[in-house]
């Protein structure tokens, strides 16, 4: 049974990036104390922490110190050591289990997990060590671990290009991409938002609520997401990405945490993904969440001046993460009510 952790207690966050920052902001607003662990003493979540531990994510003693100071532990990304977390969850209140990390850290395990639940995936070839694989058509080759924002993936069309520890995914005709941001609390699973996403150069560019998917497609994606959560020992927000291809809903990947596309809920939803996550991991009831039409644009380092001008001239809801701007680095986002189409040099 999940423990009830009331405001005034301490929430430990493994990771001090923008997701950790927005989790901390939401928790502080509710009255919680915050402990953060991150390798960088300049991480953007640090300013909202009551306790900050500068350490690598694989530093077991430091992670245990964070746990000992906290009444509940969460993490902002999945690239942390699952074996260490498994040891710690036997002693401390960690409600996003090591089992979930083990599955979502590895693209092959993740795809196999979905298939065992009768959730359709793209066809793929798992390349462990033997790269002697016959290639007769183009594939998208992805490293099985530690890939994000297009890193660790490339298009290949010959056997000579195959690398070990990769997943070769067949290309599908893409109608659209959607993500289901869901939250599991002590009683039930609720949907925070269903979001349509547009990527450019493999980085999320624009998100929109509601989606242009059919109601049947959305309902199927929601049903698949609930099926995943019901088969995980997990509390909090979890996001599942799907392709819509020739009308079919196809599983892409799981993010066992709050998600970039869910930033739209800071304006679209009656309760943001960050507050919903804090409530769920603290053993509180989240309840039903409603959304209204909203558009999100990610802000990359090279586009900051453009979006500042947009904000000055058009308003909106600007969220900057206090991160140093650099090429292709996510440094903020801006939300607008309605279906907003922007144009400019950044396009």
What is each CA distance from 265 to 74, 129, 225, in whole angstroms? 20, 42, 18
Q: Are residues 166 and 204 in the same domain?
A: no
pLDDT at 147: 59
Which domain CATH number covers 73? Answer: 3.40.50.20
Q: How far apart are CA 152 and CA 154, in angstroms?
A: 7
Q: Are residues 65 and 162 in the same domain?
A: no
Which domain CATH number covers 279? Answer: 3.30.470.20
Let me know the angle formed at the C-alpha of 119 by 126 and 146, rounded to the nearest 5 degrees. 45
Let me know the angle formed at the C-alpha of 169 by 166 and 172, rounded to the nearest 5 degrees. 165
pLDDT at 54 over 90: yes
pLDDT digits (tens, 9 = 90+) for 170-180: 999 999 999 99
pLDDT at 59 over 80: yes
Predicted TM-score (pTM) of the model is: 0.95
pLDDT at 134 over 90: no
- Name residues whose C-beta falls within 8 Å of residue 138's C-beta, 6 or more positions apart in sequence: 155, 156, 157, 171
pLDDT at 204 over 70: yes
Radius of gyration over alpha carbons of the chain, in Å? 20
Q: How far apart are CA 20 and CA 34, in angstroms?
A: 10
pLDDT at 220 over 60: yes
Per DSSP, the residues of 186-206 read SS-EEEEEEEEEEEETTEEEE
pLDDT digits (tens, 9 = 90+) for 290-326: 999 999 999 999 999 999 999 999 999 999 999 999 9
pLDDT digits (tens, 9 = 90+) for 223-252: 999 999 999 999 999 999 999 999 999 999
pLDDT at 345 over 80: no
pLDDT digits (tens, 9 = 90+) for 263-274: 999 999 999 999
- Name residues whose C-beta falls within 8 Å of residue 275's C-beta, 6 or more positions apart in sequence: 26, 29, 30
Q: Does the residue 4 lie in any domain?
A: no
pLDDT digits (tens, 9 = 90+) for 90-106: 999 999 989 999 999 99
Residue range(s) defining the domain that contains residue 44: 10-94
pLDDT at 27: 98
pLDDT at 150: 54
pLDDT at 347 over 60: no
Tokens 């990390």 — which residue?
A: 101
Residues at the binding site for ATP are 107, 142, 147-153, 169-172, 177, 199, 252-253
pLDDT at 77 over 80: yes
Q: Are residues 74 and 148 in the same domain?
A: no
Contact 18, 321 (CB under 8 A): yes
DSSP 146: S
Q: Are residues 190 and 329 in the same domain?
A: yes
Q: Are residues 148 and 255 in the same domain?
A: no
Residues at the binding site are 107, 142, 147-153, 169-172, 177, 199, 252-253
Band (pLDDT 50/70/90 cuts) for residue 18 is very high
Cis peptide before 210 (omega within 30 of 0): yes
Q: Which ranges constitute the DSSP H helices of the chain?
A: 18-30, 60-69, 82-88, 98-104, 107-116, 215-230, 265-268, 273-281, 304-314
pLDDT at 192: 98
Q: Are residues 181 and 198 in the same domain?
A: yes
Band (pLDDT 50/70/90 cuts) for residue 81 is confident
């Amino acid at each position: 049974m999940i423990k009830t952790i009331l405001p005034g207690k301490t929430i430990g966050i493994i990771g001090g990036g923008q997701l950790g920052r927005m989790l901390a902001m939401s928790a502080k607003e509710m009255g919680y104390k915050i402990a953060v662990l991150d390798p960088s003493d300049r991480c953007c979540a640090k300013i909202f922490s009551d306790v900050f531990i500068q350490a690598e994510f694989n530093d077991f003693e430091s992670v245990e110190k964070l746990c000992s100071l906290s009444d509940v532990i969460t993490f902002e990304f999945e690239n942390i050591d699952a074996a260490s977390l498994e040891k710690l969850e036997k002693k401390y209140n960690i409600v996003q289990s090591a089992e979930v990390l083990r599955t979502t850290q590895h693209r092959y395990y993740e795809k196999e997990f979905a298939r065992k639940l009768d959730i359709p995936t793209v066809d793929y070839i798992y390349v462990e060590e033997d790269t002697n694989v016959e290639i007769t058509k183009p594939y998208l080759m992805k490293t099985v671990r530690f890939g994000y924002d297009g890193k660790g993936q490339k298009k290949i069309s010959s056997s000579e290009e195959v690398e070990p520890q990769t997943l070769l995914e067949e290309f599908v005709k893409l109608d659209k991409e959607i993500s289901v941001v869901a939250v599991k609390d002590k009683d039930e699973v609720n949907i925070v938002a269903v979001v349509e996403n547009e990527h450019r150069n493999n980085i999320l560019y624009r998100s929109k609520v509601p989606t242009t998917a059919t109601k049947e497609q959305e309902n199927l994606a929601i049903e698949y997401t609930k099926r995943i959560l019901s088969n995980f020992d997990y509390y909090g927000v979890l996001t599942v990405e799907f392709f819509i291809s020739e009308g079919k809903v196809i599983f892409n990947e799981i993010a066992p945490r709050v998600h970039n596309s869910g930033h739209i809920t800071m304006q679209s939803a009656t309760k943001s993904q960050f507050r919903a996550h804090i409530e769920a991991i603290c053993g509180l009831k989240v309840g039903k969440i409603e959304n209204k039409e909203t558009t999100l644009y990610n802000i990359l380092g090279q586009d900051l001046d453009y979006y500042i001008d947009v904000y000055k001239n058009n308003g909106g809801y600007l969220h900057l993460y206090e991160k140093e701007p650099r090429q292709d680095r996510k440094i903020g986002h801006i939300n607008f009510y309605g279906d907003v189409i922007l144009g400019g040099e950044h396009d």
